[in-house]
Every structure is written in structure tokens, then in C-alpha cells.
Structure 1
Amino acid sequence: MDILELLSTFSVIFYVIIGLFILSFIGLFFTVKQQTAVIVERFGKFQGIRTPGLQVKIPIVDRIAAKLSLKIQQLDVVVETKTRDDVFVKLKISVQYVVIQEKVYDAFYKLDNPYSQITSYVFDVVRAEVPKLKLDDVFEKKDDIAIAVRGELQEAMNGYGYDIVKTLVTDIDPDEQVKQAMNRINAAERAKVAAQYEGDAQRILIVEKAKAEAESKRLQGQGIAHQRREIAQGLEESVNVLNKVGINSQEASALIVVTQHYDTLQAMGTLGKSNLILMPNSPHAAGEMLNNMVASFVAANRIGSEMEQKNTSEG
């Protein structure tokens, strides 16, 4: 081997060593992000946990086994179960959990799949609690279900390095036929309430209308009574005036009746919109009317006297 070949071989070895050194130097340092924990293993054995910042590991010897987020995470689990009144319902349970910073080792090495573990506990608790409740109670007591799930998960997962921050029942979805039936029941209930309100309103209108009509008739009766009192008072004054000039009561009454008769005829003739009315218009008409009125008064007085005497004799 000549000198040139020897130099060439040494050059290759040199560059290989330099390359390995650079790669080793690059692999020596690494950074850990905020709210993250890095587990480092040495030849497959746990070596340590690295916190956020610039960290060092021995190239080739050490390796990063896992990066665990210390942020709050959420897992949504949909559970289908049956209520006490035999209604199938789907519940969506949202579980918010976080890796406990002091138990990163347990969170990585003790539990292979935290999602499956949490899901299993959620299924177990929900299918134990919901069958005790009716469908309406499931909606009303969803917070109690969430608290039961959190209590069971907290006790189980804490030993694996996980803290259960909160559990929420975010959705309750009954079977489609059940939802349609519930909607029909609600619609019928609302229609019933609307009908009751409409009936009450109608009844109030009828009562108020009856009160208004009664008040109207009362006022109308008072007006008629007042009108008749005024007419009677006017007739009395007219008779008194006629008596003062030597006309007796019967003649005064006849004169008033005749005067009213002709005043009525005159008023009816002057009304442009009046209907056709046929009335006696002879000179004896007023007298006949007066005689009939007097005869009626006399007969009524006689009948009243006879009935009063009969009642007295029977008593």
C-alpha cells in the first residue's frame, strides 16, 4: 500500500469520526416544552424524568422513552344503556383528566392505555346508575350521574398517576321513537294549556259582556223610570193648571190625551224616514181612547177591591 492510499484511508476514518462526534453532540442536548414531562431510559431502564427547558442525555446510551402532556385533556365516551322504564338512551360523558406531575412515572409505566381504562370505568358506572332512574329522572339528575362517574374514576385513576378534574354529561339521546313520542306528549300538553287559556278568556268575555248588558239595562230602566216620573209630573202640573181655570180633572185628562194624540200625528208626519202607520184620525178617536183608559182603570180597581175583600174574609 503506497502513501496516497494510506492517506486516503486515514482521511475517511477521520471524517467518519468527525461525523459521529457531530451526531453525538447533536444528540447530547434536547429541549422539553412547557407543560410536558419527558421520560429518559438508559439501555431500556428508567433513568429519569426531564422537566421543561434545555436537557442533556448521553447519545446512544440514553433515549427518550415518552413525552407526557401535563395539560388537562378530555375524553368523550358514549354509553348506551337502558333506564328503569325500559327506554334505551345514549349518554355522552366528557371526562377531563390530567397527569399528576409528581406521578409521571406511574402514569407511564403502570397504565398502558389510559383511554381504554377510563372508558371502561365510565361504562361500568353509567350502566350501574342509569338503570335505577326513569327517563325523565335521567335528565333531571344528570349532575348526580356525572358526580358518581367522577368519584369512581378518581379513586381508580389516582393510583395510576391521573387526576380526574371534572366529568360532564354533555348529551342525553333517547331512542328516536321515544323522542317522537315525547314531542307528541309535549305538543298535546301545550295544546291543552292553550285551550284552557282560550276557554278562560272566552268565559271572561262572556261574563264581562253579561255585566255590561246588565248595567246597560239597569241604566236604561233608570232612564225610563225617570222619563215616566217627568211625564207624570208634567201631566200633574197640566191638570192643576187646567183645574185653576175651571176645567175638571176628567175634562183636563181628555184635553191632554187629545193634545198628545195630535202632537204624535204631527211628529210622525214630519219624519222623513218613518214607515207607513195607519191610526184612527177621527174627532172621536181621542175620546174613545180616554173612555177605554178610564174603563180599564175602573175595572182594575174593582178587581183589586174584590180580591182584597176575599183575602180578608179567608183570613
Structure 2
Amino acid sequence: MDNIILYVIIALVVLIVLSAFVTVQQGTVGVTTIFGKYNRILTPGLNFKIPIIEKVFKRISIQNRSVELEFQAITIDQANVYFKAMLLYSVYNQEEETIKNVAFKFMDERSFMQALVRTIEGSIRGFVATKRQSEVLGLRRDITEHVKEQIDLTLEQWGFHLLDLQMNDITFDEAIMRSMAQVVASNNLKAAAENEGQALLITKTKAAEADGNAIKIAAEAERQAAQLRGKGVALFREEVAKGMSLAAREMQQANMDTSVILFSMWVEGIKNFAENGKGNVIFLDGSSEGMEKTMKQLMGLNQMMGPDNMQFKK
């Protein structure tokens, strides 16, 4: 009997000694209480605690945690928006006050998760309720920033910190999705038509510019050609006048009548008409009066054109 009691006492002592040691896994911390009141924090590794009276109240993970969310919101124009999001959060830090908040703010992990999810959903719903359906898809980043601003302070009071919130999917009712697809398709067609119109306008403009440049080049070429023709005619007339003047001086020195030059010009003119004229009949006044009249006209022309303003004597 005495041996049995001794064995029992030894077993109790062993159990008490063993219960004085507790192991805390890496990535977690332990929170102990004495008679239900917070006592201290146990760090990762082997820790000693007061047997029987000191108990490990909770083990808290200080690693990053993630949770997926699915919820619905309504826009200001009464469109249903469905969100799928991924939330990444962790314990704010390992300070004693922070760990105490994590350990004692909520009754259990389920209560904390429910409060966290409802807080985020409420923040997003409040933001979406001020926006139109057509704006929501373009505000993915704004929604994330709004949620972070709204719940960071609340989470810090609970001992947590929001690391990231990703909006993985934003959808609408099927009818709205179809109408949005039609809007996108019509906008694409409009853009294509505008691009085609711009391309046609550019093509027409370039063609008009090319035609205008061609006309300018042709006009410039014609102007230069006309100038050259004019210069050629002027040089021809100058050379003719010089030749007539020289011939007239030589005939005057020889005491000959200079009217012979005009008569020669008259004969050459008739010959040219006959050789190059396209008509079949040439009417000439061969009378002495007609010839005299023609000679006077040629003499007057010679008087106007002569470079030395010479006068031919009949």
C-alpha cells in the first residue's frame, strides 16, 4: 500500500515537472494566464511556466494569413456588382500590447474572421454605392485604396495589419454584361470607322497636294519656257535689226536706195507664205499702189524696231 502511494506521488511529481515546460512552434507566440488573468508571452522554442497555476491561454500565429472573399454590392444606379477578392493580413507586430489585443479582443478566431470580412464588405459596398455601374470596372485600384484607408486603423486596434487586398474578379448581372459587350463592340466599330475616315482623308489630302505640286511645277516650267521663247524672239529681232542696219549703212555708202532691203523682205515674206502657209490661196495686192503701201508699212516698222533708230530712204 505504501509502495502504491509512493508510485502515485512520484507520477504526480513527474507530471508536474513535465507540465512546467511548454514548446512554442516557430512562427507563433504563446499567451499565458494565471487564474484567468494575462501573465506573459512565450516566444518560439522551449519555455518554462509555473506548473498548475500558469496556463497557455492561446497560441497566436505571427505569419501572413490569407482569406478569399465573395460578396455583392449595389451601385447608385441600382446595378448588382459581384466581387471576388483575396485578403492578405498579419499580426501588426510582436509587441506585448499588440499580442494582448490579438489574444483578447475576440472570443475566438471565427468571431475575428466574421468581423474582418463584414468590415471589408461594408467598406466596399459603401464606396460602390456612390458610383455608377459604368465606373466600377475602372475603379479597381481606387476601391482597394479606399478599403485600406477605411480599415487599417480598425485592424490596428485589433492587433492586425492589412498587407494587401486584390480584386480578382468584378462581374455584373448577365443582362448588364451583354449590354456592356455591345457598348464595347459599338465603340470598336466607331473607332474603326473614324480611323478609316482619317486614313481616307489623309490619302485624299496627299493626292490633292501631289496634284497641286504637279500643277505648280508645270506652271513654273511653262513660265520659264515662255521666258526663254521671249528671249529667243528678242534675240532674233535684235539680230535681224543689226543685219538690216549693217546692210543699210553699206548701201548708203555705195549710194544705193535702201528701199531694196524692204523689197527683199517683202519678197521673202511672200516666199515664206507660199512654202509654210496652210491655205490653198494667197491674195496679194501686186499693183504699184499696193506695193508702195506695203513698203511704207515695212519702213515704218523698221523705223520703230531699228536699234539705232535709223531711217530708210525710199
TM-score bracket, normalised by the shorter chain, equals: 0.5 to 0.7
Alignment of 1:89-100 (within 5 A): 89-100=81-92
Match of 1:107 in 2: 102
Question: Would you say how many aligned residue pairs link Structure 1 and Structure 2?
Answer: 259
Q: Is 1:252 matched with 2:249?
A: no
Match of 2:184 in 1: 183
Q: Is 1:219 matched with 2:245?
A: no
TM-score, reference length from structure 2: 0.62
Match of 1:125 in 2: 123
- TM-superposed CA distance for 1:74, in Å, is 3.9
Match of 2:198 in 1: 197
- TM-superposed CA distance for 1:144, in Å, is 4.3
Kept in 2, the 8 Å contact 1:97–1:162? The answer is: no
The one-letter amino acid of 1:120's match is R
The one-letter amino acid of 2:167's match is T
Kept in 1, the 8 Å contact 2:102–2:160? The answer is: no
Distance 1:96 1:288, change over 3 A: same
Q: Give the 3-state SS of the residue equivalent to 2:69 in structure 1.
A: strand
- TM-superposed CA distance for 1:10, in Å, is 6.1
The separation in 1 between residues aligned to 2:39 and 2:133, in whole angstroms, is 53
- TM-superposed CA distance for 1:120, in Å, is 0.6
The one-letter amino acid of 2:98's match is K
Match of 2:298 in 1: none
Residues 173-197 of structure 1, C-alpha deviations (whole Å, 9 max, x = no match) = 2334254234314413431441243
The separation in 2 between residues aligned to 1:236 and 1:123, in whole angstroms, is 103
Alignment of 1:75-90 (within 5 A): 75-90=67-82
The separation in 2 between residues aligned to 1:249 and 1:21, in whole angstroms, is 158
Q: Aligned-residue CA RMSD in angstroms?
A: 4.2
Match of 2:233 in 1: 232
The separation in 2 between residues aligned to 1:140 and 1:213, in whole angstroms, is 52
Q: Give the 3-state SS of the residue equivalent to 1:132 in structure 2.
A: coil
Match of 1:313 in 2: none
Residues 176-235 of structure 1, C-alpha deviations (whole Å, 9 max, x = no match) = 425423431441343144124313412321331232122133123214413532553465
Of 144, 147, 150, the residue aligned with 2:148 is 150
Of 132, 135, 153, the residue aligned with 2:133 is 135
The separation in 1 between residues aligned to 2:243 and 2:273, in whole angstroms, is 13
Match of 1:273 in 2: none
The one-letter amino acid of 2:268's match is A
Structure 2, unaligned runs of 5 or more? 248-259, 285-314
The one-letter amino acid of 2:229's match is R
Moved more, 111-120 or 52-61: 52-61
The separation in 2 between residues aligned to 1:104 and 1:153, in whole angstroms, is 19
Q: Is 1:32 matched with 2:24?
A: yes
Distance 1:92 1:242, change over 3 A: same
Distance 1:33 1:257, change over 3 A: farther
Kept in 2, the 8 Å contact 1:239–1:252? The answer is: no
Match of 2:207 in 1: 206
